[in-house]
Structure 1
Amino acid sequence: MAGTQLVSRMFEVIGEALQVDHFQLVAFDFRQRPFFQQFRGKKPVLGEGERLNLINRALEKRELLSGRVNHGQDILAACYPFCSQGRMFGFAYLEKHNPEATLTETEMDILSSALPVVRLLSRESSPPEEVKVQPENTGLEFLGLSQPFRLIRELVDKVKEVSSPVLITGESGTGKELIARIIHHSGVRRRGQFVAVNCSAIPDNLLESELFGYARGAFTGALRDRPGLVEEASGGTFFLDEIGDLSLPLQAKILRVLQEKEIRRIGENRSRRVDVRFISATHRNLEQEVAAGRFRQDLYFRLRIITIEIPPLRHRPEDVLVLVNHFLDKYCREMNKPRAFFSPSALELLLKYGWPGNVRELQNEIQRALVLAGNSQVLGEELLSDDIKKSKDRPLSDRWDYSRAKAEFEKKFLGEALRHFNFHRARTAAAIGLTRQGLFRLIKKYGLDRGLN
């Protein structure tokens, strides 16, 4: 079960147990910024300023704060911060619209039982030690927490301090150019230029002059000498995107640059030395292209000294939540909007969807949802594209490693419930919404029967 599903289910159980009129749960990421929230019940009676004042005071004091406010009726409002080992993981805000309502010790215990899952969601969504590959002072970030991401990070750390050619492979939209830029800006060539060219975007008859430059009079319109892009990148990095689309004649000339470290402008009969690191990228399978005779084998061997493969987003679903959180931060800030949140049902659809366009598609989807949402801070599933809505019946990926987290939460929740009811099984089962047989099975599963003896 995904962390968001676990929190949503726990939220419903706690909301029913507390019998409140308005209930809000918010989880923070590692930067102490809200990234997940869920609402239950009626709209809050307290104004936004009053609510924020109560919430901020509770977070500052790191303790439950409650008070009564008269808004035509006697309102009990309370904020419970989820805090552990000096770190804040989120909070719960609730209102009771009954003049005789109180917040009992039992209800406080029920609220405290949410801490393990809120803490889990907060940590798993964006742990700082795993969340990014980022060169200093560039604003470039490659985010994730999956095992493939960690391998990419290790490779980037190894190749950034050398000048060997790097080949980056992956589907369109996975972030190949981003990785190339990070290698350049964090490595030994960061003081030089990063020059990029998309081989599929420029016709062959123009690409040669773009890459290698030309001498005055070399062809009609060549009114002056012009250096090519490879020459401009000397001392830095030259990035050839979609190199699999390069024609065979140009492949031969790129091979010569790699071997001889020199170029020859069109219309000149002398060579010029260049000191360039080559990073190339492609969405094609170059081994198959070599076998089909469309790509030179000797160039392939030259380019692939170091290969970084970026898996598609559907193969690293653990990274989706991190990216959603990042893009919401980024685009809410750029649009000068309050920080928005996807509803649990919308977030579940985002996690189920296959993302054929990878990170670029996810990025565009979040921008679209924020524009359509207007002033609303909650992004519901109705704002999502039709293709994403169709993923409702798909199972969540089994790559999510939350089964152990769920077990830990159930064990702690049941342990606290049993202690609260003095290990009275029938009362405990009734209070937490389980059958007696279901409770007995979980007690045995987690070894909690030892506390009953």
Structure 2
Amino acid sequence: MAHRFLSRLAEAIFDQIPSDRALFRTLDGKGNRVFETSRGMDGMNGGGGPIREADETLVRRVLEINRPVLVTDLASEPLFADLELSRDGHPRSLLAYPWTLQGLPAGVAYLARNAAGRPFTRENMEFLTLAMSPVLYLMRGNGSRSPEGDVPVPGDAPASCPFMGTALPIRRVRAMIEKVRDTDAPVFISGESGTGKELAARIIHETGRRRAGPFVAVNCAAIPEALIESELFGHARGAFTGAVRDKTGLVEEATGGTFFLDEIGDLPLALQPKLLRVLEEKKVRRVGETRHRAVDARFVSATNKDLDHEVERGRFRQDLYYRLKIIAIDLPPLRERPEDALLLLNHFLDEFSRSMGRPRPFLSPVALEMLLRYPWPGNVRELQNEVQRCLVMADGAPLILEEYLSPKINPAGETYSHVSHLFSEAKADFEKRFLREALVRCRHHRTRTAAEVGLSRQGLFKLLKKHGLDARAAG
């Protein structure tokens, strides 16, 4: 996407939506400006002076909000109430459309009108949204943060890498994958369910020198013990009842590529020495045959079990364990990299909205808070499923409300309410939500709830009655 295209698009937006000041900016992964054009902004287009401080402050806040913004009267808009804005050139109405890529701010279209001008309208927002569609499509289509596609995200994964995140543990995972992908040494991947073990194995295969070969995956826990030897190593015709023809094993099928053993901790103990021999000799012998066949496959295995403990209990061979674990990659659970939760939420919202053919919705503040506070025991897979569920429940609405969340994330069943501009109403809304969450944590035990929140039993009862809350249980 060339700078010329962005320039023309920005000019069309500026012409169609008149404003006192307008800005179109794209950013790289560190927030540095990659492309920029403007009208009426001091210090832009070769003017040499500083950018208007108030507008720059508003642009930063829009990027933080991370959703389209239409403000008719800035003085009464709570989203900007805490900002200290200079009086010089203070806009009255603003219209802005920020966008992200890989969960990080990637750009913004910003327009401002002074007090003398007419406020922006919904029609203006609709035009801006439609005008931005080709930019979002092209940028997200090629995974580029820059119009020319040549500015990578510093320290982050490429667009083609599903292991997104800025947390140190996931950076280490990506660095290790990059180191081992072109070797033939066995790789052992450990991690909780939902952390992406098979995904890691596929990335190792698809980015390594064996990518032209097959990727053959087998789940050791999903195959009956009586059949797993035949599945892995193959069999000759007549080797057992029902063996009416020769069968190539999965290890042979992986020749030239990668053989992935998922849930290796569930491999039957009797079969483990045979797998060890294959790893050491690079040969397999089909069930019912006497001759060996050469295989050339890279072995990657994974488990969510503690194999050290399994070895101690005698349920997994120590020699096989060491042979598989020449290179070890440990995938961190999502709770150990909470800073990546928002990035992943935005990524999956973008991805599933596009695949479902729906406009990309935004999260209500309370829904976002609940999602970021949830510990995600099912890790990234659970988060991915939750986003997909929310999009279905939202049914094309522009906002994902807290009532659309799963009961485990919103156990109190909170529903969306518009934030009041009156302090008394906002305080009452906070008290009700606070008490509801405390009751859920204490399983509706009133004495325990009162102690946890620092109230007397009588004080708690008064507040419960005031807000129409039922403690359900005595105590």
TM-score of the pair, normalised by structure 2: 0.60
Q: Say which is worse superposed, 355-364 or 124-133, in terms of deviation.
A: 124-133
Residues 1:106 and 2:87 aligned together: yes
Q: In 2 relative to 1, CA 293–133 (structure 1 residues): closer, same or farther, beyond 3 Å?
A: farther
For structure 2, the residue ranges without an aligned partner over 5 or more in a row are 1-5, 7-12, 25-36, 42-54, 76-84, 108-144, 146-151, 413-432, 439-475
- Aligned 8 A contact 1:63 1:80 in 2: no
Equivalent residues in 2 for 1:25-424, closer than 5 Å: 54=17, 58-60=22-24, 62-63=38-39, 92-96=69-73, 106=87, 109=90, 122-123=104-105, 128-132=153-157, 139=160, 141-390=162-411
SS for the counterpart of 1:145 is: coil
Q: In 2 relative to 1, CA 110–256 (structure 1 residues): closer, same or farther, beyond 3 Å?
A: farther
> One-letter code of the match for 2:409?
I
The size of the alignment, in residue pairs, is 319
SS for the counterpart of 1:195 is: strand
CA deviation after TM superposition for structure 1 residue 336, in Å? 0.1
- Aligned 8 A contact 2:220 2:261 in 1: yes
Q: In 2 relative to 1, CA 387–230 (structure 1 residues): closer, same or farther, beyond 3 Å?
A: same
> One-letter code of the match for 2:265?
G
- Aligned 8 A contact 1:58 1:80 in 2: no
CA deviation after TM superposition for structure 1 residue 132, in Å? 2.1
> One-letter code of the match for 1:374?
D
> One-letter code of the match for 1:367?
Q
Aligned to 1:11: none
Aligned partners of 1:273 and 1:166: how far apart in 2? Answer: 21
SS for the counterpart of 1:388 is: coil
Q: Deviations over 1:390-415 (max 9, x none)?
A: 498799xxxxxxxxxxxxxxxxxxxx
> One-letter code of the match for 2:87?
T
> One-letter code of the match for 2:311?
V
CA deviation after TM superposition for structure 1 residue 208, in Å? 1.1
SS for the counterpart of 2:311 is: helix
> One-letter code of the match for 2:211?
R
The root-mean-square deviation of aligned C-alpha atoms, in Å, is 3.9
Aligned partners of 1:186 and 1:254: how far apart in 2? Answer: 26
> One-letter code of the match for 1:361?
E
- Aligned 8 A contact 1:353 1:388 in 2: yes
SS for the counterpart of 1:307 is: strand
Q: In 2 relative to 1, CA 271–346 (structure 1 residues): closer, same or farther, beyond 3 Å?
A: same
SS for the counterpart of 1:173 is: coil
CA deviation after TM superposition for structure 1 residue 107, in Å? 8.0
Aligned partners of 1:51 and 1:94: how far apart in 2? Answer: 17
Aligned partners of 1:206 and 1:253: how far apart in 2? Answer: 14
CA deviation after TM superposition for structure 1 residue 380, in Å? 1.3
- Aligned 8 A contact 1:152 1:310 in 2: yes
Aligned partners of 1:269 and 1:179: how far apart in 2? Answer: 36
Q: Deviations over 1:258-296 (max 9, x none)?
A: 111100011100000101110000000110000010000
- Aligned 8 A contact 2:282 2:294 in 1: yes
- Aligned 8 A contact 1:130 1:144 in 2: no
- Aligned 8 A contact 1:58 1:81 in 2: no
> One-letter code of the match for 1:54?
I
Aligned to 1:398: none
SS for the counterpart of 2:410 is: helix
- Aligned 8 A contact 1:195 1:232 in 2: yes
TM-score of the pair, normalised by structure 1: 0.63
SS for the counterpart of 1:106 is: coil
Aligned partners of 1:55 and 1:146: how far apart in 2? Answer: 42
Aligned partners of 2:314 and 2:251: how far apart in 1? Answer: 26
> One-letter code of the match for 2:154?
E
Q: In 2 relative to 1, CA 80–255 (structure 1 residues): closer, same or farther, beyond 3 Å?
A: same
Aligned partners of 2:363 and 2:332: how far apart in 1? Answer: 25
CA deviation after TM superposition for structure 1 residue 82, in Å? 5.9
CA deviation after TM superposition for structure 1 residue 80, in Å? 8.9
- Aligned 8 A contact 1:199 1:242 in 2: yes
Aligned partners of 1:168 and 1:198: how far apart in 2? Answer: 14
> One-letter code of the match for 2:401?
G
Aligned partners of 1:97 and 1:385: how far apart in 2? Answer: 35
Aligned partners of 1:368 and 1:181: how far apart in 2? Answer: 26
- Aligned 8 A contact 1:55 1:93 in 2: no
> One-letter code of the match for 1:145?
T
SS for the counterpart of 2:72 is: strand
SS for the counterpart of 1:155 is: helix
Q: State the structure with bigger RCO (CA 8 A, min sep 6), 1 or 2.
A: 1
Q: In 2 relative to 1, CA 93–63 (structure 1 residues): closer, same or farther, beyond 3 Å?
A: farther
Aligned partners of 1:111 and 1:256: how far apart in 2? Answer: 75
Q: In 2 relative to 1, CA 177–52 (structure 1 residues): closer, same or farther, beyond 3 Å?
A: farther
> One-letter code of the match for 1:387?
K
Q: In 2 relative to 1, CA 298–52 (structure 1 residues): closer, same or farther, beyond 3 Å?
A: farther
Aligned partners of 2:161 and 2:169: how far apart in 1? Answer: 19
